[in-house]
A = this chain, B = another copy of it.
Amino acid sequence: MTAKLEVQALLYDVFGTVVDWRGSIIDDLSRFGAEKGLRADWAAFADEWRGLYQPGLEEVRSGRRPWTILDVLHRESLDKLIAKFGLTGLSEADKVHMNKVWHRLRPWPDAVAGLTRLKRRYIIGTLSNGNVGLLTRMAKFGGLPWDVVLSAETARAYKPLPQAYLANAAILNLEPGQVMLVAAHNSDLAAAASAGLRTGFVARPMEYGPNQKRDFKAERDWDVVADSFISLAEAMGC
């Protein structure tokens, strides 16, 4: 990968790529539900919550809705699911706590070690549709050693719109080709490549648990393909 010599920053997709959102939500809400005496299929709850993510973003991307951060979209989806799953007796504080489960997601086991190695040589940061406040608290929760927290919010555009990639490269004073997007999702990498970024694919075959249907492997010749952040660090000369 000769491109590694030009790359100065690795920016990461976060949900699914860096953190195990599904496993974390199931565990967190199962504990919370047990404390509160709530019964639910928390795996189905997590999957449906994530299922409402793209439709929520699309309202903003399409321009039908003004800029709205992901914490707010998550809360709207949560309120729908609380009704759908028939969960009763929840206070406003309970709902705020549940919504902040997205701030309490566990890194995949290789994530912190791999990022720590890459940080020695490159700027490492987020490039997520999560808002800055969410990503900052998640990093403290999981010990993610980001140099910089970039987001759809800092670009005012949700991925995969080109502006989400281009504005964040510009914020770092970098050309698109000096930035690598690292993601577990071929579609995110395709959009980044179209915007001129370099691309790194790390497979996360358990992101959707038993329901995973795609992204088991690289579907294009991305600049780097690795099976963990450790092997990504090795491929990037760290």
Q: How many copies does the complex hold?
A: 2
Report if A95 contacts B (CB, 8 A): no
Question: Contacts of A112 on B, CB cut-off 8 Å?
Answer: none
Report if A71 contacts B (CB, 8 A): yes
Residues of A71-103 contacting chain B, CB below 8 A: 71
Report if A235 contacts B (CB, 8 A): no
Cβ-closest chain B residue relative to A71:
B173
- 11 cross-chain CB contacts under 8 A: A71-B173, A131-B171, A131-B173, A132-B148, A132-B172, A133-B171, A133-B173, A134-B173, A139-B147, A140-B147, A149-B149
A contact patch SS: helix
The 6 lowest CB-CB distance pairs between A and B, nearest first, are: A133-B173, A136-B148, A133-B172, A132-B171, A148-B149, A136-B147
Chain B's nearest CB lies how many Å from the CB of A43?
Answer: 28
Mask of A112-153 contacts with B, CB within 8 angstroms, 1/0: 000000000001010000011110110110000001110001
Q: Number of contacting residues on A, CB 8 A?
A: 20
Question: Contacts of A139 on B, CB cut-off 8 Å?
Answer: 147
